[in-house]
Amino acid sequence: MSKSTNRQAVTRRSDAGKTKFWYRLAYLLIIIGVMSMTAYAAAPYPDVPKGKGDQCVEDTEFMRANHMELLLHQRDETMHRGIRTKKHSLKNCMECHVVTDESNRPVSAENPKHFCRVCHDYAAVSIDCFECHASKPRAKQSN
Ligand code: HEC
Ligand code: HEC
Ligand code: HEC
CA distances from 134 to 54, 101, 106, 108, 138 (A): 24, 17, 11, 8, 8
Torsion angles phi and psi, residue 100, rounded to 5: -110, 155
Whole-prediction pTM: 0.80
pLDDT at 9: 54
* Strand ranges inside 58-120, DSSP E: none
Q: Is the CB of 48 under 6 A from ligand 2?
A: yes
**How many domains, the chain?**
2
Asked whether residue 35 falls in the same domain as residue 66, the answer is: no
Average pLDDT over residues 58-83: 81
Asked whether residue 64 falls in the same domain as residue 40, the answer is: no
Of 133, 110, 114, nearest to 46 (Cα)? 114
Is residue 49 one of the residues assigned to a domain? Answer: no
- Residue of 76, 97, 108, 125 to mutate, ligand 3, most atoms within 8 A of C-beta: 125
Is residue 142 one of the residues assigned to a domain? Answer: no
Domain containing residue 70: 60-131
Per the CB < 8 A criterion, the answer to whether 70 and 58 are in contact is yes
pLDDT at 35: 62
Measured in angstroms, how far is the CA atom of residue 120 from the centroid of ligand 3?
6
Asked whether residue 39 falls in the same domain as residue 71, the answer is: no
Q: Using CA atoms, how far apart are residues 46 and 43, in angstroms rounded to an integer?
A: 6
Is residue 64 one of the residues assigned to a domain? Answer: yes
2 pLDDT more than 60: no
Average pLDDT over residues 76-88: 69
Question: Atom 6 of ligand 3 has which residue's CA nearest to it?
Answer: 116
Is residue 139 one of the residues assigned to a domain? Answer: no
Q: pLDDT grade, residue 75 (50/70/90)?
A: low
Measured in angstroms, how far is the CA atom of residue 9 from the centroid of ligand 2?
72
Asked whether residue 67 falls in the same domain as residue 33, the answer is: no
